[in-house]
Every structure is written in C-alpha cells, then in structure tokens.
Amino acid sequence: MDFLRLIRYKNLLMVLLTMFLTKYALIDSQIQPPSFSNFHFFLLSVSVSFITIGGYLINDIFDRDTDAVNTPNRLYIGQIISLKKVKYSYLFVSLLGFLLGFYLSIITDLLYLIWLYFFCVFSLFFYSYYFKKSILLGNILVSILSSLTILLTYLFHKKSLTGSFVEETSLYTLVIGYSIFAFLTTLIREIIKDIEDVQGDLKIKATTLPIVIGRKRAAQVAFLFSCILLIFLFLILQLYRTKYLFLGYGILFILIPLLYFMSKLWFSESKKDFSKLSTLLKIIMLLGIISMLLFKIEHHLVN
C-alpha cells in the first residue's frame, strides 16, 4: 500500500523500541511484578504510534515547499498521494491515537494523563505550523516530546508498582536519566538537521538557529549541548561505577562514540558532513536506549 510506504518506519520503530525497552527491560527489571498488563501496554504502544504517525503527516503537509528543496526525492504529497488524502489520514490517526489514550487513561484511573495526550497532539500540530520555523523553540518542543515517550510509559506503570521506596526511587532516577538523555540527543540532532536544511528553510522565510546566527555558530551551539550531554554521561557513569557491565558498555558504546561525534562536529562545514553527523547521533541514541537491556541482564544474573 502506498500509504504504508509513506510512514517513516525507522523513526517509528525507534519510538516503539524505546517504549518496549522501558517496560520490559527497565521497569520489569527494577520492580516485579508490575500489574500494568501486556494488553494495556499494547494499547499504549498503538496510541503513541498513531499520534507519532499523525505528527509525521502534519509535518509533511506544512513542509511541502521546504521538502521540494531539501529532499525532492522524498516528496510524495501530490505525486504518490493527494494532499486531501494526507489531511484526512492525519485527522484519522491523530484522533484514533488520542481516543485510545483517552480510553487507556480511563480504565487505568489515570485521568491526568489525558492532558498529556492533548499536549502531544496539539504540540505536534503547532510545531509543524509555527514553532518549527522559530529559533530553538521547535527544537526544544520535539526534544520534550521525545523524552515523553519514556516518561509516559513509566507514568502508566507508576500506579501499579509494588516495590519498596528504595526500588521505586531507583526506577524513577533511571527514568529521569534516560529522559534527559533522549531530550539532549534529540535537541542536538534537531539543530544539526536545521543546519542541513538551511536552503529549504530560507525559501519559507523560517528563522531557525542556523539562519539567524549562521551555520558555524549553530554548530557551536550543538557542540555546547554535546558538552552538556558529555558531562551528564560522566555523572551517570560515576553513579554506576560499581556496575562494571554498565560502566564498560557506557564507555565503549556511548561515551567514545560521543567524543568522536563531537570531534567531527567541530570541524564540519558541508551539508554532507552534517548529514553524516545526524546518522552518527541516531546510532548513539539507539545504543543509549539499548543500554536498558543491561539492567535486565543484571537482574537475571543477581537472581
């Protein structure tokens, strides 16, 4: 089906993988057994998937002129599928995702999470409509939404957790830590993507960071946030210095790749350079999320 080919599978799979590992690797390894059922988690995953797909569709609707310059080979609206169908598809998947989230919030007696679903749906719309064209605001908003993937999974489990205060505090610390990691890596990548897309953004008179302060200075801002991420990772590894499996993995597969990324970022100039950096950061993000498995492995070794 043409519509299925339009979905950005890789990004959606990353969202689902993050949720899956948050539940089955992170939460389940810290506190046993959470009463949030597999069926409820399935509904949660489907609702988030639909809202995420809706975010991609509305972004493509507003980005037609930009994409015609930046990624003409990926332009599908008006070529593969009509604008009208894409608009209806956006409304359908966003509404369905919200209704599933609404239903899940009701049956789990977590009514306050309905507002979080409202925030996600409307944030994705206004990001594409306005904030994406503004200096840093759109970048920060997307980064918040990225971190909410982890937080939302935790919040739906929080009421059903039955562990001790120490266990719950440990789990909460891990959730916040991974949420910060998701926020910072997404923010850096969003800035790099803006640097890549300068030509198309100029066409629509956007005021993104590289347009306002220049590509080189924007790259320096990305480097600054990379330094913050590096310091954050040092603090995390210091906290878990006695967990040798986690420490070794963190140094080899997250810290060293991040240092390599930062060295390349400092000297990057061309669009091709920044495109490679974006891919490298995706890999670092993936390796960071996969590290949740280490807590599951440790749990099995201890028990």
Q: Is the peptide bond before 72 cis (omega within 30 degrees of 0)?
A: no
List the domain range (segments joined by +) for residue 161: 2-302
Over the range 156-169, which residues count as b (16 or more CB within 10 Å of their CB) and which as e? bbbeebeeeeeeee
Whole-angstrom Cα distance, residue 241 to residue 260?
Answer: 22
Residue with structure tokens 């640097």? 195
Burial of 190 (0-12, 13-18, 19+ CB in 10 A): buried
Containing 85, the helix (H) or strand (E) segment is helix 83-107
Whole-angstrom Cα distance, residue 84 to residue 157?
Answer: 39
Which pLDDT tens digit goes with each residue over 232-263? 999 999 998 888 999 999 999 999 999 999 99
Whole-angstrom Cα distance, residue 132 to residue 139?
Answer: 7
Q: Which of 79, 87, 80, 94 is nearest to 60 (CA)?
A: 87
Give the pLDDT score at 76: 58
Least confident of 28-42, 60-74, 149-163: 60-74
The whole-number average pLDDT for the span 164-188 is 91
- How many Cα atoms sit within 13 Å of 292 on the Cβ side? 28
- How many Cα atoms sit within 13 Å of 279 on the Cβ side? 6
Question: How many domains in the chain?
Answer: 1
Give the pLDDT score at 5: 45
Which pLDDT tens digit goes with each residue over 61-96? 877 666 555 555 556 555 667 777 888 989 999 999
Q: Which of 193, 178, 186 is nearest to 226 (CA)?
A: 186
Give the pLDDT score at 10: 74
Burial of 112 (0-12, 13-18, 19+ CB in 10 A): exposed
Give the pLDDT score at 73: 58
272 vs 303, residue with greater confidence: 272
The whole-number average pLDDT for the span 163-185 is 89
Q: Average pLDDT, whole number, for the chain?
A: 88
Banded pLDDT at 287 (limits 50, 70, 90): very high
Give the pLDDT score at 87: 87
Q: Residues 6 or more apart from 286 whose CB is under 8 A from it?
A: 14, 17
Provide the terminal-to-terminal Cα distance of the chain, rounded to the nearest Å. Answer: 47
Q: Which of 99, 115, 184, 175 is nearest to 146 (CA)?
A: 184
Which pLDDT tens digit goes with each residue over 188-239? 999 999 999 888 778 777 889 999 999 999 999 999 999 999 999 999 999 9
Tokens linked to 150: 């982890």
Banded pLDDT at 30 (limits 50, 70, 90): confident
With contact defined as beta carbons under 8 Å apart, do 184 and 277 qualify? no
How far, in Å, are 2, 28, 186, 243 from residue 240 at the CA level?
47, 19, 24, 5
Tokens linked to 173: 């610390």
Banded pLDDT at 281 (limits 50, 70, 90): very high
With contact defined as beta carbons under 8 Å apart, do 95 and 107 qualify? no
Give the pLDDT score at 18: 97
